Structure 1
Amino acid sequence: MRTSGLAMCLSAAFGCAPVVAQEPAVAETQVAETTVQAETETPPQQPTAETETPDTPATEKPATETPKTATESADEAKIAEEPAYVRVHEVDGKPNALQTATVQFVGQPGTRYDGAIVDLVGVVHIGQNEYYTELKEQLSKYDSVLYELVAPDGTRIRPEDLEERRSILASVQTGMKDMLNLEYQLEKIDYMAENFRHADMSPDEFVEDLEKRGDSVWKMIARMLGAGIASQAKTGGDAGLLMAMFSGEDRPKNMKRAMARQLVDIELVTAGMDDANGENTLIKGRNRKAFEILKEELDAGKENIAVFYGAGHLPDMAERLENDFGMKAVQTTWSDAWDLTRN
């Protein structure tokens, strides 16, 4: 497998989900990505999760092994400063679980949204069944769940559409799911739930935002591939993954371990990846659209909201909550997406 191919596979696991045929309130779709959520008035606790109460989530800093140019060092420093919303949790120095974070933000006294709760809920698109069972239970307790999907406004994902229409990225994701003995997010989360609301760009809005800034899908993909190449150079390339692929009965476990750290690196790099103007449609543009919907929900009086997005979106969203909504992070809860101790 070439580096670029692996980078696309890793990015697919976190970043892109298919969109399926829908009708009026269930419109036709094309390509989806990760989603962020906000939490209820009494924040739901996840059974297998760890809870922390820092001002911001823990930060994982990528190590540097070879001399870097000034530009590369500046880029890595920016990424290192980003709070981590996905991590590999270790026990006794050994990888134990790939985890995603739910970070609770509360409106501060004297601000417009005093007392309102917004949870940023990071998610991966392939994970173990228990992970999605817990997420589904957690999401059911919010007043509103704002979810990610590059699709026409109002799109809902119906279970019967999943088998009828699958994009290339969806095929990659389902292939990874089967290889790793994991499950597929779109098949496990109930997107038809009454409290779910689409909060993302339409395909036309996505393209228009790119063109407005002189960007393009191909330039964006090139930046993502560059991030993947840099990540693999740091972690030693495909050697560990190739060894895991031929490791016999323990192949699923060994492959999950080999891929988990690379997935974390890809997500952190993507979170800090801007174009020449310091903007990007993939993260910041879509986050702006999501937060327009968030403002509508808060202004309508909803006080317990989840933003259900991929982990790469959350650092920018956290800044928006603090700077534009007068909110502060009060608690981080970690959930096990992949158990790295079992097949």
Structure 2
Amino acid sequence: MSVRSKLTLLLALIFQFSSALLAARAEEATEKSAEEKTAPTFLRIHENASGKPDALQTAIVRYADPQQPGVYVDLVGAVHIGEQAYYDQLNEEFKNYDALLYEIVAPKGTRIPKGGPKKNGSAVSGLQNGMKDMLGLEFQLEQIDYTPQNFVHADMSPEEMAADMAERGDGFLQMFARLMGAGMVQQTKGEDMNAAMLMALFADDRQLRMKRLFASQMDDMEGQMRAIEGKNGSTLISQRNAKAFQVLRQELNDGKKKIGVFYGAGHFADMHRRLVEDFGLQPQSTRWLNAWDLTK
């Protein structure tokens, strides 16, 4: 068995074990806030006329205040692995903003080099490359051009994140426990996930089946993020969002009118609430981009 095949099997076994573990635990679910209940959808699976999935899509939702003509904030949803065409389209979209705020836990002002950070031989790097090859997709950090002058780092530094997590007692084990309680990976939708995973691994169209399988899990991104947040928020979502929106406030105060916020789609239910409650903005329109092709 090749190294790649072993890695694919290992990933499948991890996913399979996580499914069983998460489904076995039942704890108190987190309720949506009133604003989150009215929030737009930011990630979905699109189906064709026959009801078959043909794309995993992310949204670009525009927020504005009629009393401030010409000023708007777009929440531009991201998935961190996707089709080459998806990232090419995003690179074109980003040219239209006065400021494009982006996420990466890194020192203040970090600018990602073209082609992404320098690769290394770590286990994490190997796992990432295995996932990329398994699904036939590309990495966001390698395909998005972060070098234009309108790109603005809007995230915590590693020191800020560590300090906030320590203050809140918000470790990764705690977040994982919340996911377990909420049943992040569901044995639902009329499908036995273990059987579906094994069938996908040995199918002739393995990449397509694996993409559809992972997409079906990502389709409940909102519920997964609520589980991570818990009742009192989390460093990973709400606190990083607060940091990002400090930067957003500064950009607006500096006279920027066309602003994009490029973050993982799971951050956006909380960001929607902040835009409505703290900035007095309302969603005006939604456009959809195809992140994954689920037909081939």
TM-score by length of 1: 0.73
Aligned to 1:296: 250
Take 2:11 and 2:59, find their aligned partners in 1: how far apart are those partners? 31
Is the 2:26–2:180 contact (alpha carbons within 8 Å) kept by the matching residues of 1? no
Quickly say closer, same or farther: Cα 1:153–1:70, change in 2 above 3 A. Answer: closer
Alpha-carbon offset, residue 194 of structure 1: 1.0
Aligned to 1:150: 105
Gaps of 5+ in 1: 11-65
Aligned to 2:199: 243
Take 1:173 and 1:2, find their aligned partners in 2: how far apart are those partners? 10
- Higher mean alpha-carbon deviation, 139-148 vs 234-243, is at 234-243
**C-alpha offsets along residues 268-287 of structure 1, whole Å, 9 cap, x if unaligned?**
22321255652111110000
Aligned to 2:241: 287
Aligned to 1:137: 92
Is the 2:63–2:74 contact (alpha carbons within 8 Å) kept by the matching residues of 1? yes
Alpha-carbon offset, residue 224 of structure 1: 3.8
Aligned to 1:87: 44
Specify the SS of the correspondent of 2:193.
coil
Is the 1:9–1:172 contact (alpha carbons within 8 Å) kept by the matching residues of 2? no
Root-mean-square deviation (CA), in Å? 3.1
Alpha-carbon offset, residue 77 of structure 1: 9.9
Quickly say closer, same or farther: Cα 1:9–1:204, change in 2 above 3 A. Answer: farther
Is the 1:126–1:177 contact (alpha carbons within 8 Å) kept by the matching residues of 2? yes
1:162 to 107, 112, 117: 117
Take 1:215 and 1:314, find their aligned partners in 2: how far apart are those partners? 20
Instruction: Give percent identity, aligned residues only.
Output: 44
Is the 2:63–2:283 contact (alpha carbons within 8 Å) kept by the matching residues of 1? yes
Take 2:12 and 2:188, find their aligned partners in 1: how far apart are those partners? 12
**C-alpha offsets along residues 305-337 of structure 1, whole Å, 9 cap, x if unaligned?**
000000000111011111111111000111001
Specify the SS of the correspondent of 1:319.
helix
Quickly say closer, same or farther: Cα 1:69–1:75, change in 2 above 3 A. Answer: farther
**C-alpha offsets along residues 81-122 of structure 1, whole Å, 9 cap, x if unaligned?**
46431111011210010000110011241xxx5541100000
Take 1:147 and 1:327, find their aligned partners in 2: how far apart are those partners? 20
Is the 1:3–1:232 contact (alpha carbons within 8 Å) kept by the matching residues of 2? no
Is the 1:123–1:310 contact (alpha carbons within 8 Å) kept by the matching residues of 2? yes
- Higher mean alpha-carbon deviation, 229-238 vs 139-148, is at 229-238
Given residue 174 of structure 2, which amino acid in structure 1 is its aligned partner? K
Is the 1:146–1:308 contact (alpha carbons within 8 Å) kept by the matching residues of 2? yes
**C-alpha offsets along residues 6-43 of structure 1, whole Å, 9 cap, x if unaligned?**
28999xxxxxxxxxxxxxxxxxxxxxxxxxxxxxxxxx
Aligned to 1:6: 15
Take 2:212 and 2:246, find their aligned partners in 1: how far apart are those partners? 38
Alpha-carbon offset, residue 216 of structure 1: 1.9
Alpha-carbon offset, residue 259 of structure 1: 1.4
Take 1:144 and 1:105, find their aligned partners in 2: how far apart are those partners? 15
Aligned to 2:273: 319
Matched, 1:336 2:275: no
Take 2:12 and 2:294, find their aligned partners in 1: how far apart are those partners? 23
Quickly say closer, same or farther: Cα 1:153–1:9, change in 2 above 3 A. Answer: farther
TM-score by length of 2: 0.84
Q: How does 1:189-338 map to 2 (within 5 A)?
A: 189-224=144-179, 226-227=181-182, 229-235=183-189, 236-248=192-204, 250-265=205-220, 267-273=221-227, 277-338=231-292
**C-alpha offsets along residues 56-78 of structure 1, whole Å, 9 cap, x if unaligned?**
xxxxxxxxxx9x98934x64899
Take 1:192 and 1:331, find their aligned partners in 2: how far apart are those partners? 28
Is the 1:133–1:188 contact (alpha carbons within 8 Å) kept by the matching residues of 2? yes
Given residue 150 of structure 2, which amino acid in structure 1 is its aligned partner? N
**C-alpha offsets along residues 205-258 of structure 1, whole Å, 9 cap, x if unaligned?**
11111222222233123334555x44333343332122111111x111111111
Gaps of 5+ in 2: 1-9
Matched, 1:125 2:83: no
Is the 1:118–1:304 contact (alpha carbons within 8 Å) kept by the matching residues of 2? yes
Take 2:177 and 2:26, find their aligned partners in 1: how far apart are those partners? 20
Is the 1:87–1:99 contact (alpha carbons within 8 Å) kept by the matching residues of 2? yes
Is the 1:121–1:306 contact (alpha carbons within 8 Å) kept by the matching residues of 2? yes
Specify the SS of the correspondent of 1:158.
coil
Alpha-carbon offset, residue 172 of structure 1: 2.8
Alpha-carbon offset, residue 202 of structure 1: 0.7
- What number of residue pairs does the alignment pair up? 279
- Higher mean alpha-carbon deviation, 125-134 vs 286-295, is at 125-134
Specify the SS of the correspondent of 1:104.
strand
Given residue 43 of structure 2, which amino acid in structure 1 is its aligned partner? V
